[in-house]
Amino acid sequence: MTSGLWELVLRGIWTTVQLLVLSALLGAAVAFVVGVARTHRSRAVRFLAALYTTVFRGTSALIMIFWIYFVLPLSFGWQLVPMWAGTLALGLTYGAYGAEIVRGAIAAVDPAQREGGIALSFTPWQRMRLILLPQAVPEMIPPFSNLLIELLKGTALVSLMGMGDLAFSGNLVRLALQESAEIYTYVLLIYFVIAFLLTRGMRGLEKKLKAGVGKQAGAGAGAARQPEVTGVGGVS
C-alpha cells in the first residue's frame, strides 16, 4: 500500500481506539450505577434499574446507533456528531450488560461481610464502599475483560453511518486496491493485536486488585475452600 493509504488506516485505528475508550468509560459508569441500583433496598429503584437493563440488553446495538444518529435529530432538532452518537449508543448498550456483572459480583460477596458491616453500624453506602465493592471489583475484572473485547468488536458497527473507524478505512482501502483478502487480513490482525493488549492489561489489573484483597488471580468468586487434612490426633 502507498503511504497515503497507510495513513488512512492509521487514522481509522486512532478513531477506533478513541471510540473504544470513550464508550468503555461511559459503559463502566453506567454499569456501576445501574448494577449498584439493582441491589438497592428501594423496590422502585430496583425496578427502574431492571427496566433499563432489560430494554438495552433486548435491543440491537446497531439499531440503537441508527436511532440516536438519525431519529434523535428528527425528534429533538439537534444532531450528534458520529463519534458522540456511537459513544452514547455503545456505552449505554454495553453498560446494561456490565450492570449485570456488577450486580452478580456484589451478590456473590459472603453475606457475613454485609452482616459485619451492619454490626459495626455502617450506613448502606459505607457497607457498599468499604466492604462490598473492594471484594466484588476484583471478581468483575474477568467478565469485564470479555465485555471490553466485545465492545471493541462492536465499534465496527459505526462504520455503517460513515464514521471513519478501522472497519470503514479498511473498506475504503479495499475499494482503492481491489485486494479484499490482503486488506481484510490486515484489519483482522489489527483488531487481534488491540484485543490482545486489552486482555493482557485487564489480566494485570486483576492480579493487582486481587493481591490487594489477599486473593489469587484466576480463582473464581465461588471457588471452594479445600478442607484441611489432619492426621491422627488432629496433627496436620
Count CA atoms within 13 Å of residue 50 on its CB side.
9
Please write down the HEC assignment for all residues of the chain: CCHHHHHHHHHHHHHHHHHHHHHHHHHHHHHHHHHHHCCCCCHHHHHHHHHHHHHHHCCCHHHHHHHHHHHHHHHHCCCCCHHHHHHHHHHHHHHHHHHHHHHHHHHCCCHHHHHHHHHCCCCHHHHHHHHHHHHHHHHHHHHHHHHHHHHHHHHHHHHHHCCCCHHHHHHHHHHHHCCHHHHHHHHHHHHHHHHHHHHHHHHHHHHHHHHHCCCCCCCCCCCCCCCCCCCHHHCC
Per-residue pLDDT tens listing for the chain (236 residues) = 677 778 888 999 999 999 999 999 999 999 999 999 999 889 999 999 999 999 999 999 999 999 998 888 877 777 788 899 999 999 999 999 999 999 999 999 888 888 888 888 888 888 888 888 888 998 999 999 999 999 999 999 999 888 888 998 988 888 888 888 888 999 999 999 999 999 999 999 888 887 766 566 555 444 434 334 333 333 33
Name the CA dihedral angle for 176, 177, 180, 184, rounded to a multiple of 10 degrees: -80
